[in-house]
């Protein structure tokens, strides 16, 4: 992943995100200091996150 991502509503219809692979956080957490987080879903009613993918925050490395 190149950097943080933010999905921000409101949305006029239902929203869905399908993750099939691995979303991997940056190894340098200091690059997120000015951000709300690594992956942010904000003000989205009826959001569905599905798929067989993984959110890898790289906790042991970062």
The pLDDT confidence band at residue 61, using thresholds 50, 70 and 90, is: low
The pLDDT confidence band at residue 28, using thresholds 50, 70 and 90, is: confident
DSSP string, the chain: --S-EEEE---SS--EEE--SEEE--S-GGGGTTSS-SEEEES-TT-EEESS-EEE--TTT-
Q: Kindly report the pTM of this predicted structure.
A: 0.69
Of 51, 52, 57, give the one whose Cα is nearest residue 17: 51
Residues 26-44 have a mean pLDDT of 80
Handedness of CA 55, 49, 1, 21 (dihedral sign): positive
pLDDT of amino acid 4: 81
Say if CB 50 and CB 15 are below 8 A apart: no
Residues 52-62 have a mean pLDDT of 81
Q: Is the pLDDT of residue 3 over 80?
A: no
């Amino acid at each position: 992943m190149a950097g943080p991502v933010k999905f921000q509503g409101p949305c006029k219809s239902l929203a869905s995100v399908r993750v099939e692979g691995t979303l991997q956080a940056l190894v340098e957490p200091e690059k997120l200091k000015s951000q709300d987080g690594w992956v942010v879903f904000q003000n989205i009613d009826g959001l569905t996150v599905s798929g067989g993918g993984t959110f890898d925050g790289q906790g042991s490395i970062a």
